[in-house]
A and B are shown apart, each in its own frame.
Chain A
Amino acid sequence: MAVIQAPPLARPEPVGRRLLVWLTTTDHKKIGILYLINSLGFLVVGGILALLMRTELARPGTQFLSLHAYNQVFTEHGTLMIFLFIFPTLAGFGNYFVPLQIGALDMAFPRVNALSFWLLPAGGLTILSGFLVKGGAAAAGWTSFAPLSVQGRSGQDLWILGLAIVGTSSILGGINFIVTILRMRAPGMTMLRMPAFTWSVLATSLLVVLATPVLTAGLIMLFADRHLGTVFFDASRGGSALLWQNVFWFFGHPEVYMLILVAWGIVSEVLPVFSGKPLYGYRGVVLAFLLITALSFTVWAHHMFVTGAVELPFFSVTTEIISIPTGVLFFNWLATLWKGKLRFEPPMLFALGFIAMFLIGGIDGVWMASPAMDFAIHDTYWVVAHIHYVLFGGTVFGIMAGLYYWFPKMSGRFLSRKLGIWQFWIQVVGFNLTFFPMHILGLRGMPRRIADYPPNQGWTGLNTLATIGSYVIGIAIVLFFLNVFLSLRKPKDAPADAWGSGNSLEWATSSPPPAHNFDTLPEVRSGRPVYDQRASRQGLVRGESPA
């Protein structure tokens, strides 16, 4: 049951008491904020690791990271960014806004929700603590392919344990979201009136609940191989190294969609609000989410084309088919913008940046779905470019759109528009400077996951460029934190409908919302209850745009 907070006291409570409230809270809004704080902390750690790598790669030769240290750094960078930054950030948005968007008081299982959160720092620090043990952190890549991962030292065990904890956290969270969305909706909030963001969380949760346990099974087999003397991944004794790849990617590809679906949801919220139009083809968007959810279980072996052990045509075709619902999303986003009254506030800029960058990443993906192309670029920097155009150009731009969009709701204060616009442009430039050259590096044959490269391959200039770009990204992220810091010192001045053109129910309550979420819940008669409220207040007919 939710803890019902006492009404705010006239005097501020002592720090110790306030800290205790945050540590023991079961309020989905506080838990959502904890998720975001934790995730942004891991973003800083993962970002520093990325800068270490880029600094090492700026010039040929090994300057300050040993080969083994480099392996640890890229392994931890990938693992932390995926499992401890991107996914939990999206889960944090889900925690805060799904109950608000469906007009609920809290999540279905508030205490399980708190557990899901607290498992995260535990798992993350377990993974990270590998740097403190003898032999260093896990060094087999975020994919930890066997048999390399069977051979690693104790850092690899911490990686396995930490990931199992984080996986448990996501499964519990996923179950909680599904039950919340299916059972806690306000009167009138039918499934097909739910905001696209809530749909994206539902689709992601289905993926989490069905795919993450497969990773857990793989982790148990890996752990048994390392310590109990089993031979699951030992081909010389009847096992199969490819078994790990199959198990990992059966989880791993749905995982990629877990990392992007909610960003699609955020963009599908932001674009209508700053275009003054409803989301174009809402049902098409929902259907696309669900199709992608289903299809994502059929494409895993496209990561394994070069093994020679998979049915190439099948996985090539399914991979290309999954780009069709993705294309539907692009069409609907562009059609939402079409003839809209566009307002270029920071959330809108990041959403537009998302569309442009994710398009490049998506097209990269369709190319690689062709085995002939994949054979040429597998395990090269092309793949690094692709994943970063999808997860950084896509998801991180989407996350930034979400942070700027919902910050006023969560804190009662707007992030600075000016700093936001600066951050956006610096981030776009830095991002493309870093990752676009990687396409060319990949085509020139530079393999991924190497600490050093020969000077005579024509890779040096592009690597230096990418390193400069990575520092520019660093500046953009610092600007973001500066913006948060400065904005939190301002007085709370955000109205309930912070952007003046909100559609979904979170804009019907004060900013920030009271502990019980809504003093009065507007009647839900369409997919845009707050728009309806605004329209009826202004005496407008449906379809007209309120000022």
Chain B
Amino acid sequence: MSATELFTDERAVRGTSSPVMGMVLFVAGEAMFFAALFAAYFSIRAATRIWPPARIGIPELPIPAVLTVTLVTSSVVLQFGVRAIRRGRVATFERLLGLTILLGLSFLALQGYDYSQLTFGIKDGIYPSLFYVMTGVHMAHVVGGVVLLSVVGAQSLTGQISTAWHEPVDAATIYWHFVDIVWICLFTVFYVAVPR
């Protein structure tokens, strides 16, 4: 144990660990990032008489509904993974983590397919601007989440994750849940709360 670790341990406060607290703060910042985009959406929607503007084919519901189920399921699976590592079942954790990553990748593939089915492109006005940029930056966050979970997976496979020390798992899980929640907001705004 290095001197730093000794020093930190000496004064360890009970409760939240540094990586988890760091991730919570990062997610708070990310929430503000998406809040800015949602604020843009609502201020423009409020100022527009017909929404979505005419000529825009509203996206179909079925595929995005499957996307939502995929992402929510992945969050639940990951949470079971966290429970497993807390109880010392490393192999179970690794399987559940793998399943989460797989669900994340399916989400990305399916959303790519959904994009190809849309009748409007990014240059077709303000609604497509909001739609593609907001879902696009979310997609980038899913990619980021998959990378983060893969790094945690690699740590676990090399024996760096254990019941005693699994802070990266907790931190990555918080991030993944956040990405999930943002998707639910996007799903509501772009697919559910639109006149059909």
Tell me whether B40 and A175 are in contact (CB under 8 A). no
The verdict on A340 contacting chain B, using a C-beta distance below 8 Å, is no
| B30-86, CB < 8 A from A | 30, 32-37, 39-40, 43-44, 47-48, 53
Residues of the B chain whose Cβ atoms lie less than 8 Å from the Cβ of A225: 129
Contact of B44 among A1, A2, A185, A240 (CB under 8 A): A240
Contact of B29 among A1, A209, A221, A238 (CB under 8 A): A209
The verdict on A142 contacting chain B, using a C-beta distance below 8 Å, is no
Tell me if B's interface is mostly helix, strand, loop or mixed: helix
Residues of the A chain whose Cβ atoms lie less than 8 Å from the Cβ of B4: 1-2, 4, 105-106
Determine the distance from Cα of A109 to Cα of B26 in the docked complex, in whole angstroms.
13
Determine the distance from Cα of A320 to Cα of B151 in the docked complex, in whole angstroms.
49
Tell me whether B29 and A183 are in contact (CB under 8 A). no
Return the CB mask of A217-232 against B: 1 if under 8 Å, else 0: 1101100110011111
Contact of B36 among A217, A224, A516 (CB under 8 A): A217
Residues of the B chain whose Cβ atoms lie less than 8 Å from the Cβ of A218: 36
The verdict on B7 contacting chain A, using a C-beta distance below 8 Å, is yes
Determine the distance from Cα of A232 to Cα of B129 in the docked complex, in whole angstroms.
7
Contact of B21 among A179, A216, A239 (CB under 8 A): A179
- Would you give the shortest CB distance from B126 to chain A, in whole angstroms? 3
Q: Beyond A106-B4, A179-B22, A246-B43, is A214–B36 a contact (Cβ under 8 Å)?
A: yes
Q: Which residue of A lies closest to B126 (CB)?
A: A238
Contact of B133 among A112, A171, A220, A240 (CB under 8 A): A220
Residues of the B chain whose Cβ atoms lie less than 8 Å from the Cβ of A2: 4
Tell me whether A175 and B11 are in contact (CB under 8 A). no
Tell me if A's interface is mostly helix, strand, loop or mixed: helix
Determine the distance from Cα of A109 to Cα of B23 in the docked complex, in whole angstroms.
12
The verdict on B8 contacting chain A, using a C-beta distance below 8 Å, is yes
Residues of the A chain whose Cβ atoms lie less than 8 Å from the Cβ of B32: 209-211, 213-214
Tell me whether A1 and B53 are in contact (CB under 8 A). no
Q: Which residue of B lies closest to A518 (CB)?
A: B7
Residues of the A chain whose Cβ atoms lie less than 8 Å from the Cβ of B125: 231, 237-238
Return the CB mask of A1-30 against B: 1 if under 8 Å, else 0: 110100000000000000000000000000
Residues of the B chain whose Cβ atoms lie less than 8 Å from the Cβ of A186: 11
Which size class do B's interface residues fall under? Answer: 35 or more
Tell me whether A105 and B122 are in contact (CB under 8 A). no
Residues of the A chain whose Cβ atoms lie less than 8 Å from the Cβ of B130: 232
The verdict on B137 contacting chain A, using a C-beta distance below 8 Å, is yes
Count chain A CB atoms within 10 A of each CB in B40, B48, B130 and give the residue with the most: B40
Tell me whether B25 and A516 are in contact (CB under 8 A). no
Tell me whether B11 and A216 are in contact (CB under 8 A). no
- Would you give the shortest CB distance from B143 to chain A, in whole angstroms? 15
Determine the distance from Cα of A247 to Cα of B123 in the docked complex, in whole angstroms.
22
| A320-356, CB < 8 A from B | none
| A465-524, CB < 8 A from B | 516
The verdict on A178 contacting chain B, using a C-beta distance below 8 Å, is yes
Determine the distance from Cα of A171 to Cα of B27 in the docked complex, in whole angstroms.
11
| CB-based closest 6 A-B pairs | A238-B126, A229-B123, A230-B129, A213-B33, A217-B36, A214-B36
Interface residues of A (CB under 8 A from B): 1-2, 4, 105-106, 108-109, 112, 171, 174-176, 178-179, 182-187, 209-214, 216-218, 220-221, 224-225, 228-232, 237-240, 243, 246-247, 250, 516
- Can you list 8 A-B contacts with CB-CB less than 8 angstroms, sorted by A residue number? A109-B18, A174-B29, A216-B33, A220-B137, A230-B123, A230-B129, A231-B125, A516-B3
